[in-house]
């Protein structure tokens, strides 16, 4: 599927490339949240904080300090992860609704800082025009490698995003398939029981929280460049709810669920906003439908269908 994504610019429409780039970055963001929500069972309402921190980090480093992308991008993840570690330390000591409220509080703090710290973050108007990473070296490579040269900067960036998102998703996949991931699922199933058998639940939850923050920060770093501007809205709580909805829409129980959710939501958004301005109404209705009929999300429904078909085949 990833290989197919590389051919999107060949379709010729800049809009499709733009759309695909958007989907890729949000897919990473949503999957990072799923590490917390789907795998560890921790519902965070403030995940956009790390997304915003990542975006601002990359933005400030690249635009104001001229740091090259190769350094600015990991910095986004590191700073977001560090802050996730600090915030997470306090959050994991709480449960359920209090946990959610504290994640929200921290996210709003991040937002308030971005919103008011005019000198550093540009305040309300944000930082328009984050430069693209330097792609000039590609022309040199294109001289002796076919298919590589002749694209626009936005397309180079799309390829770069695909590569980076792919790497991150691969890492996340390894993480959830590992013993670490299984431990998280155990904690989700029954945290008390895990405590009884001697597991330091809080430590594992903190680790999950920090990792989720790292990947959200990386997604944010990419998004700031893609969006050609970083704005304080990136950390506002409504952004957190958007990504949460994506995760739910696609299905929390499956690794690629959030990706499906991101694809569905973004494509639907663009389609619907061409015809009407009442996107919220449609989204809300879809969400209600989902909650009542398909709690497993699209991915869940598809998986259930798949299983039904398989048992049919077996019985036949």
Partner 1 sequence: MPDPSFVFAQSLSGLTAAMFLFLIASGLSLIFGVLRVLNFAHGTFYMLGAYSAYQIVQWLGAGPGMFWVAVLGAALGIAVLGGIVERFLFRHLYGQEELYQLLFTYALVLVLSDAAKIIWGTQQKSVSRPPGLTGSVSLWGATIPYYNLFILLLGPAIALGFWFVLQRTRAGRFIRAAALDRETLGALGVNVNALYTGVFVLASFLGGLGGALVTPVRTIVPGMDTEIIVEAFVVVVIGGLGSFWGTFLGSLIYGQVLSFGILFFPRFSIFSVFALMAAVLIIRPWGLLGRPLK
Partner 2 sequence: MQRRQFLLMTGLALLVIPPVAHAQKPIKVGFPMILSGPGALFGEPALKGAQMYVEEINAKGGVLGRKIELLARDTKGNADEAVRVSRDLILKENVDFLVGTLTSAEGPAVSVVAKENKIVFIAPIPKTDQLTAPDKLHPYVFRVAATTTMEGRSAAEIVAKWPVTRIATISPDYAYGQDVTRAFVDYLKKLKPSVQIVDQQWPKLGEPDYTPFINAQLAKKPEAVFSSLWGGHFVNFAKQAKPLGYFDAIKYNFIGVGEAGSPESTKTMGQDYPVGIWGNSYDAFYWDTTSPAHRDYTARLSKFTKEEYPSSWAIQGYIGLQFLTEAIKKAGSPDSDKVSKALLGLSIDSPVGKITIREKDHQANRGQLYGKTAMDPKYPFAIMKPVEYVDPTKFMD
Nearest distance, CB of residue 246 and partner 2, angstroms: 17
Residues in the chain, total: 316
Rounded to an integer, what distance in angstroms lies between the CA atom of residue 247 and that of residue 260? Answer: 9
Nearest distance, CB of residue 238 and partner 2, angstroms: 11
Query: Residue 52 in contact with residue 60, Cβ under 8 Å?
Result: no
Pick what 299 binds: partner 2, partner 1, none; C-beta below 5 to 8 Å, kind-dependent.
none
Pick what 104 binds: partner 1, partner 2, none; C-beta below 5 to 8 Å, kind-dependent.
partner 1
- Token pair 């986004």 in the structure block, residue: 76
Nearest distance, CB of residue 292 and partner 1, angstroms: 7
Pick what 134 binds: partner 1, partner 2, none; C-beta below 5 to 8 Å, kind-dependent.
none
Pick what 311 binds: partner 2, partner 1, none; C-beta below 5 to 8 Å, kind-dependent.
none
Nearest distance, CB of residue 191 and partner 1, angstroms: 15
- Token pair 């429409």 in the structure block, residue: 13
Query: Residue 251 in contact with residue 257, Cβ under 8 Å?
Result: yes
Query: Residue 59 in contact with residue 230, Cβ under 8 Å?
Result: yes
For partner 2, which is the closer residue by CB, 15 or 98?
A: 15
Pick what 18 binds: partner 1, partner 2, none; C-beta below 5 to 8 Å, kind-dependent.
partner 2
For partner 1, which is the closer residue by CB, 141 or 287?
A: 287
- Report CA 285 to chain centroid distance, whole Å: 23
For partner 1, which is the closer residue by CB, 69 or 99?
A: 99
Binding stretches for partner 2 (CB under 8 A): 13-15, 18, 115-116, 118, 123-126, 128-129, 154, 227-229, 231, 233-234, 270, 273-274, 277
Query: Residue 21 in contact with residue 158, Cβ under 8 Å?
Result: yes
For partner 2, which is the closer residue by CB, 123 or 166?
A: 123
- Report CA 38 to chain centroid distance, whole Å: 14
Name the DSSP letter for residue 63. Answer: I
Rounded to an integer, what distance in angstroms lies between the CA atom of residue 42 and that of residue 215? Answer: 16
N- to C-terminal Cα separation, the chain: 31
Query: Residue 128 in contact with residue 229, Cβ under 8 Å?
Result: yes
- Report CA 316 to chain centroid distance, whole Å: 42
For partner 1, which is the closer residue by CB, 138 or 233?
A: 233
Of 21, 77, 89, the residue nearest 50 (C-alpha): 77
Other C-beta atoms closer than 10 Å to the C-beta of 97 total 9
Pick what 154 binds: partner 1, partner 2, none; C-beta below 5 to 8 Å, kind-dependent.
partner 2
Would you call 128 helix, strand, or coil by DSSP? strand
Pick what 143 binds: partner 2, partner 1, none; C-beta below 5 to 8 Å, kind-dependent.
none
Name the DSSP letter for residue 61. Answer: I
For partner 2, which is the closer residue by CB, 82 or 282?
A: 282
For partner 1, which is the closer residue by CB, 121 or 161?
A: 121
Nearest distance, CB of residue 19 and partner 2, angstroms: 9
Nearest distance, CB of residue 96 and partner 1, angstroms: 7
Pick what 231 binds: partner 2, partner 1, none; C-beta below 5 to 8 Å, kind-dependent.
partner 2
For partner 1, which is the closer residue by CB, 225 or 246?
A: 246
Rounded to an integer, what distance in angstroms lies between the CA atom of residue 69 and that of residue 126? Answer: 20
Binding stretches for partner 1 (CB under 8 A): 37, 43, 90, 93-94, 96-98, 100-102, 104-106, 108-109, 112-113, 115-117, 237-238, 241, 244-245, 248, 278-281, 283-285, 287-288, 291-292, 295
């Amino acid at each position: 599927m990833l290989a197919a994504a590389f051919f999107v610019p060949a379709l010729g429409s800049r809009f499709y490339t733009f759309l695909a780039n958007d989907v890729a970055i949000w897919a990473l963001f949503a999957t990072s949240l799923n590490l917390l929500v789907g795998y560890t069972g921790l519902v965070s309402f403030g995940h956009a904080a790390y997304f915003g921190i990542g975006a601002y980090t990359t933005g400030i480093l690249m635009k104001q300090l001229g740091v090259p992308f190769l350094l600015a991008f990991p910095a986004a993840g590191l700073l977001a992860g560090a802050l996730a570690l600090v915030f997470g330390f306090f959050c994991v000591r709480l449960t359920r609704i209090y946990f959610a409220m504290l994640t929200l509080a921290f996210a709003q703090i991040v937002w308030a800082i971005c919103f008011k710290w005019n000198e550093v973050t540009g305040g309300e108007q944000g930082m328009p025009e984050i430069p693209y990473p330097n792609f000039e070296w590609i022309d040199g490579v294109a001289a002796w490698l076919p298919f590589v040269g002749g694209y626009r900067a936005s397309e180079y960036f799309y390829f770069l995003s695909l590569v980076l998102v792919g790497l991150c998703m691969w890492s996340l996949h390894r993480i959830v398939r590992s013993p670490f991931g299984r431990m998280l699922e155990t904690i989700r199933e029954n945290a008390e029981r895990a405590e009884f058998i001697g597991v330091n639940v809080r430590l594992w939850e903190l680790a999950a929280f920090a990792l989720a923050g790292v990947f959200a920060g990386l997604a944010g770093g990419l998004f700031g460049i893609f969006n050609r501007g970083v704005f304080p809205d990136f950390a506002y709580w409504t952004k957190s709810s958007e990504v949460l909805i994506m995760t739910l829409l696609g299905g929390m129980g499956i690794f690629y669920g959030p990706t499906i959710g991101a694809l569905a939501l973004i494509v639907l958004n663009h389609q619907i906003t061409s015809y009407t301005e009442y996107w919220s109404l449609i989204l809300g209705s879809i969400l209600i439908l989902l909650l009542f009929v398909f709690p497993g999300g699209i991915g869940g429904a598809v998986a259930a269908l798949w299983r039904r078909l398989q048992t049919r085949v077996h019985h036949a």
